[in-house]
């Protein structure tokens, strides 16, 4: 046993153990310190990365905002111009209604409408101005308006009319959404096929169903469309893709903002896409607005305190304006008949016109053709004017023209 005590290796071992233990402990300590440092660094790095992402995100947002602001104001100018131009075209169409040029004016009008719609779509993406705010309009008119905003509008057939009307704030959005749907429908179907629109009342409101006979969409496209259509967050201009695809994004934004739904996930009976716009009750109204009777308003010359171009008080229709055509051959006896509001309406919701003689050139047998009695002052002024006229006529033509026809 003692031999072991004398062995220096033992003593070495005894002395070495604490040293080794110390070394190990120190090593462990060092390792844990390093670990902590590493974790700290990792944390730091993550923070940096986070800040960096945030900064990039912020820069992107700011760029997006700047783009939107720029586009928004640019589009607003374009929209204003398009709207001004539309008015100018309308006036030209009235002025040259009987000329051949009307055909060209109608074509230009069509192009202008398409141009206005494009500008409107971009404006919607930039949270911009939607354009003219309208009066309440019948659903049928809104659908027809939408139809007029696409290129191949003659392929669109509206199969049903309805008595529903759309409230003023939703007129433009619904028309724009429908126009985008119709644009898709005409673009993705053969040129000789028709696009059908049906209007169906449902318990939750009214559905506008657009059926095309195109190629349809695959599951992936449907999923993407559904995602765009339901997205409530604001659309981003930079993620439209190239070539940019506005349609579904615009529809999604408008549907979310005005509270209706658009879906394109079903198949039409013709194998194409069936798009359904569901308008809830709060966007709908009935057509029976107390509209001032247009027939009477139009036939009676407007009184002077009612200048043309200004809407009549209480008139729902934007129409009232003095008749553009003073009808040739109108009898001078035609005095403005007393304007009476007419309560009856036809089945189609239009104000019913009473039989009146004043409007027609050839009065019917039963109607009196007597000249309305004039009071003495009017008679005097008419006679005075007549006399002045004949006198001035004699003075001016005496020298030059007399005897010309007799030779």
**Hey, which residues between 349 and 368 contact another protein (CB under 8 A)?**
350-357, 359-364, 367
Which H or E run contains 139? helix 139-147
Query: Which is nearest to 317 in space by CA: 353, 339, 337, 287?
Result: 287
Residues between 264 and 303 with contacts to another protein, criterion CB under 8 A: 294-295, 298-299
CB of 129 to another protein, least distance (A): 7
Site stretch for another protein (CB under 8 A), options 12-20, 197-205, 346-354, 396-404? 346-354
Site stretch for another protein (CB under 8 A), options 28-36, 59-67, 142-150, 221-229? 142-150
Strands (E), 329-388: none
**β-pair partners for 345:** 351
Residues between 200 and 259 with contacts to another protein, criterion CB under 8 A: none
Residues between 23 and 62 with contacts to another protein, criterion CB under 8 A: none
Residue 275 CA to residue 341 CA, distance in Å, equals: 42
The number of residues making up the chain comes to 407
Query: Which residue lies nearer to another protein by CB, 118 or 321?
Result: 321
Q: Taking CB under 8 A as the rule, does residue 68 contact another protein?
A: no
Residues between 3 and 22 with contacts to another protein, criterion CB under 8 A: none
Residues between 305 and 334 with contacts to another protein, criterion CB under 8 A: 309-311, 318-319, 321, 323-330
Site stretch for another protein (CB under 8 A), options 4-12, 22-30, 134-142, 373-381? 134-142
CB of 64 to another protein, least distance (A): 18
CB of 336 to another protein, least distance (A): 14
Query: Which residue lies nearer to another protein by CB, 38 or 356?
Result: 356
Residue 331 CA to residue 250 CA, distance in Å, equals: 54
- Count of residues touching another protein (by CB under 8 A): 82
Q: Taking CB under 8 A as the rule, does residue 138 contact another protein?
A: yes
What SS3 state is found at 220? helix
Residue 152 CA to residue 338 CA, distance in Å, equals: 46
Binding mask 145-174 for another protein (x = CB under 8 A): x-xx----xx------x------xx-x---
CB of 390 to another protein, least distance (A): 23
CB of 316 to another protein, least distance (A): 11
Token pair for 130: 């939607």
Q: Taking CB under 8 A as the rule, does residue 261 contact another protein?
A: no
CB of 244 to another protein, least distance (A): 23
Strands (E), 13-113: none
**DSSP secondary structure code for residue 271 in this structure:** S
Which H or E run contains 363? none
**β-pair partners for 208:** 199, 277
Query: Which residue lies nearer to another protein by CB, 216 or 294?
Result: 294
CB of 109 to another protein, least distance (A): 6
Residues between 175 and 204 with contacts to another protein, criterion CB under 8 A: 175
Sign of CA dihedral 242, 191, 208, 82: positive
CB of 359 to another protein, least distance (A): 6
Residue 205 CA to residue 199 CA, distance in Å, equals: 11
CB of 186 to another protein, least distance (A): 13
Site stretch for another protein (CB under 8 A), options 36-44, 127-135, 235-243, 369-377? 127-135
Residue 121 near residue 228 (C-beta atoms within 8 A): no
Q: Which long-range contacts (CB under 8 A, 24 or more apart) does 339-342 make?
A: 339/296, 339/297, 339/300, 340/293, 340/296, 341/290, 341/292, 341/293, 342/293, 342/296
Residue 156 near residue 147 (C-beta atoms within 8 A): yes
Binding mask 83-112 for another protein (x = CB under 8 A): x--xx-xx--xx-xxxxx-xx-xxx-xx--
Residue 337: burial class (beta carbons within 10 Å; 0-12, 13-18, 19+): middle
Neighbours of 247 (CB within 10 A): 20
Query: Which residue lies nearer to another protein by CB, 127 or 265?
Result: 127
User: Strands 195-202 and 205-211, how do they pair?
Assistant: antiparallel
């Amino acid at each position: 046993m003692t031999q072991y005590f004398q062995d220096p290796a033992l003593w070495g071992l005894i002395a070495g153990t604490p040293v080794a233990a110390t070394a190990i402990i120190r090593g462990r300590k060092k390792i844990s310190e390093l670990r902590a440092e590493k974790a700290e660094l990792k944390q730091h790095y993550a923070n940096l990365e986070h800040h960096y992402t945030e900064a990039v995100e912020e820069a992107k947002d700011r760029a997006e905002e700047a783009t939107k602001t720029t586009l928004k104001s640019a589009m607003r100018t374009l929209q204003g111009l398009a709207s001004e131009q539309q008015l100018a075209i309308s006036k030209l169409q009235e002025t040259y209604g009987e000329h051949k040029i009307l055909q060209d004016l109608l074509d230009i009008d069509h192009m202008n409408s398409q141009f206005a719609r494009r500008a409107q779509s971009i404006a919607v993406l930039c949270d911009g101005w939607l354009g003219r705010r309208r009066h309440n309009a019948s659903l049928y008119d809104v659908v027809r308006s939408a139809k007029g905003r696409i290129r191949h509008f003659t392929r669109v057939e509206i199969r049903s009319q309805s008595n529903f009307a759309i409230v003023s704030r939703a007129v433009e959005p619904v028309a724009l959404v429908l126009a985008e749907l119709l644009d898709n429908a005409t673009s993705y179907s053969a040129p000789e096929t028709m696009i059908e629109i049906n209007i169906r009342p449902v318990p939750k409101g009214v559905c506008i169903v657009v059926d095309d006979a195109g190629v349809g969409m695959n599951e992936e496209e449907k999923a993407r469309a559904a995602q765009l259509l339901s997205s409530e967050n604001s659309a981003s201009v930079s993620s439209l893709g190239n070539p940019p695809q506005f349609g579904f994004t615009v529809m999604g934004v408008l549907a979310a903002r005005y509270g209706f739904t658009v879906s394109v996930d079903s198949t039409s009976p013709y194998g194409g896409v069936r798009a359904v716009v569901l308008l809830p009750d709060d966007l709908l109204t009935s057509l029976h607005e107390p509209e001032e009777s247009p027939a009477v308003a139009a036939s009676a010359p407007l009184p002077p305190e009612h200048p043309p171009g200004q809407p009549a008080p209480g008139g729902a229709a934007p129409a009232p304006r003095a008749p553009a055509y003073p009808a040739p051959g109108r009898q001078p006896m035609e005095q403005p008949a007393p304007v009476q509001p007419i309560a009856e309406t036809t089945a189609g919701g239009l104000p019913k016109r009473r039989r009146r003689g004043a409007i027609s050139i050839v009065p019917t047998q039963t109607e009196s053709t007597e000249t309305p009695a004039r009071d003495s002052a009017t008679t005097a002024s008419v006679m005075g004017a007549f006399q002045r006229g004949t006198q001035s006529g004699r003075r001016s033509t005496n020298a030059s023209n007399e005897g010309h026809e007799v030779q």
